[in-house]
Amino acid sequence: MSKKLLLKDAHIEGIRYFETYRKQGGYTAAEKALKMTPEEILEEVKTSGLRGRGGAGFPTGMKWSFLAKPEGVPRHLVVNADESEPGTFKDRYLMEYLPHLLIEGMLISSFVLGSNVSYIYIRGEYSWIPDILEEAIEEAKAAGFLGKNILGTGFDCEIYVQRGGGAYICGEETALLESLEGKRGNPRLKPPFPAVKGLWERPTVVNNVESIAAIVPIIDITGAEYAKIGVGRSTGTKLISACGNINKPGVYEIDMTITVEEFIYSDEYCGGIANGKKLKACIPGGSSVPIVPANLLLRTVNGEPRYMNYESLADGGFATGTMMGSGGFIVLDEDQCIVEHTMTLARFYHHESCGQCTPCREGTGWMHKILKKIEKGEGKMEDIDLLWDIQRKIEGNTICPLGDAAAWPVAAAIRHFRDEFEWHVKNPELSQTQNYGLANY
């Protein structure tokens, strides 16, 4: 059984409220941290090996140490709660059931970074969660854990919740900052990075909800103890939101030493494939990461078991591996059609492109059009090569990672499931009435 650090109290009734959270030991990490110096806390975070839980997996302590500290210029912590990656809903769970864990993590992080005004930027579709967060903020303030002179330390901290308008691109940190400033959420060219010029051109750290929540157990048990959980550079625990054709969709906390096979088939987690079907493929880290067929998902090319951690999932690179990404684990059974699935994703990325750069603006739409054609049985063999060519011209040629996110699913689908694309071209009539999976299994 995986060790629980973040969700250990999630089952307790009323844990959403300050009184219950406090009774379970809530805010003791904050009390401990505020007796330390910011430098000491930063060392703990670095020692813990915590990697950003939003998708990129960049070491959090290192990110914090990049924050510029010009004299007299305010600094900010911004929590990225714009969780819009298809298949990903673990931050929603944390905010809905354990809002004080996030607030406590923000208090400690704000203290380290010297942020007297911190923000939570939350996606517009999570319409019921800002009220939960604002209530938690008020409770923390009434108990003296936010506001002026917190616990007599002289440190002041206010937290504000900002609702997004529902654009996927605002999950990209610089687009988020633009939106938070009241502008259209267009990603900025980097450098300068937010650590130097972020919100209102002030030094800013943008971190994912889960990353900030993880600061609480790190302070609680120490960075060294946190680093002992997990394996290699995949330290601590990770939240995974599992969905698709499985028996038990939901949010799970894993310690990154379990195999992918165990995660899918064990009753503790996904409980196996629904309706007794066979596993066909999986996107283990949110829709932007490469899809992998069952054989490469469960084993690496060397025949080793694949594990639920950053290194093992990426083993083999983009040719045979995938990525941990945001932890949105999407399982597909044998009845699913990869072409249809890829077309749906292409439509999503085209719709969400902000339109600033040509490869993304034009390429995503073009890919969607071709995929639609192939899926309907109206494609030609050369369309598959054209699709391959377009995704290659998008990757690495755009301002922000949305371009790559749109290109990778298409590349992986063609690489691993080219036969399905060809089936649609060779069977135009069948393609109009059936999907590949149903017609072939």
List contacts with ligand SF4 (CB under 6 A).
Answer: 169, 187, 353-357, 360-361, 398-400, 402-403
The residue number whose beta carbon is nearest to ligand SF4 equals 360
Nearer to ligand SF4, 85 or 315 (CB): 85
CB-based contact 203:69 (threshold 8 Å): yes
Nearer to ligand SF4, 169 or 273 (CB): 169
Nearer to ligand SF4, 254 or 399 (CB): 399
Find the Cα–Cα–Cα–Cα dihedral 419, 360, 331, 281, rounded to 10°: 20
Residue 237 and residue 293: Cα distance in Å, rounded? 26
Nearer to ligand SF4, 166 or 428 (CB): 166
| Shortest Å, Cβ 353 to ligand SF4 | 4
Q: Provide CB contacts within 8 A for 183, sequence distance 6+.
A: none
User: Nearest Cα to 331, choosing from 299, 284, 288?
Assistant: 284
CB-based contact 346:406 (threshold 8 Å): yes
Residue 311 and residue 316: Cα distance in Å, rounded? 10
| Shortest Å, Cβ 121 to ligand SF4 | 17
| Shortest Å, Cβ 319 to ligand SF4 | 24
Please tell me whether the peptide bond between 86 and the residue prior to it is cis, using omega within 30 degrees of 0. Answer: no
| Shortest Å, Cβ 356 to ligand SF4 | 4
| Shortest Å, Cβ 367 to ligand SF4 | 13
Nearer to ligand SF4, 82 or 139 (CB): 82
Nearer to ligand SF4, 175 or 273 (CB): 175
Nearer to ligand SF4, 105 or 403 (CB): 403
Q: Provide CB contacts within 8 A for 339, sequence distance 6+.
A: 371, 374, 375, 413, 417, 420, 421, 424, 435, 436
- E strands, 123-175, in order: 158-163
Nearer to ligand SF4, 31 or 181 (CB): 181
Q: Provide CB contacts within 8 A for 2, sequence distance 6+.
A: 237, 252, 253, 254, 255, 258, 268
Backbone CA torsion sign across 412, 83, 240, 61: positive
List residues bridging with 147 in a β-sheet: 157
| Shortest Å, Cβ 197 to ligand SF4 | 18
Please tell me whether the peptide bond between 203 and the residue prior to it is cis, using omega within 30 degrees of 0. Answer: no
